[in-house]
Amino acid sequence: MSMKSQSFVITPGEQVPLRVVGETISILATAQATGSYEVFLQHGPEGAGPPPHFHDWDEAYYVLEGRMDVTVDNRTRTVSAGEFIHIPRGVVHAFRLHAGGAKFLSINSGAGAAQFFQEMDREVGGEMNIPRILDVASRHGVSVPPPPAVQ
């Protein structure tokens, strides 16, 4: 990101909602625009959220409305409105929105998530087409480990 970033404002009318695995995600800032980080407004109904996964960028959530269970390294914690959680790059994580759904900001270091979300919306849309989801994820450096074997 050698390009110098400029000040900018994104109005509600400029936010384009993307459909990503049961959630609606609006890109507020890309790394190309900021020079270093990406920000998203995410919301969805109860039960929405990605499977356990990891990627090469740090990620943090700030919950605006509702509650969500966030699992980081097999430890689950409920995060409520007004709370912030940081997830380091390379760590397996997932979240699930509680009853009534939730709305939160997602802040990501570096580039990657914006292009991933755009392609998920374009290639998969609202479908739960697991092979297509995994294909798009792998092209963007998002790894979904296999579930643990049932003993």
Strands 59-72 and 93-109, how do they pair?
antiparallel
Q: Which pLDDT band holds residue 115 (cuts at 50, 70, 90)?
A: very high
Over residues 21-39, the mean pLDDT reads 95
Residues 6+ away with beta carbon under 8 Å from 3:
32, 35
DSSP string, 16-79: -EEEETTEEEEEEE-HHHHSSEEEEEEEE-TT--PPSBB-SS-EEEEEEEEEEEEEETTEEEEE
Looking at per-residue pLDDT, the higher value among 104 and 4 belongs to 104
Q: According to the model, what pLDDT value does residue 3 have?
A: 57
Residues 6+ away with beta carbon under 8 Å from 151:
none
Question: Which domains, and CATH codes, for the chain?
Answer: 14-139 (2.60.120.10)
Q: Which pLDDT band holds residue 1 (cuts at 50, 70, 90)?
A: very low
With a cut of 70, say whether residue 7 has pLDDT above it.
yes
With a cut of 90, say whether residue 68 has pLDDT above it.
yes
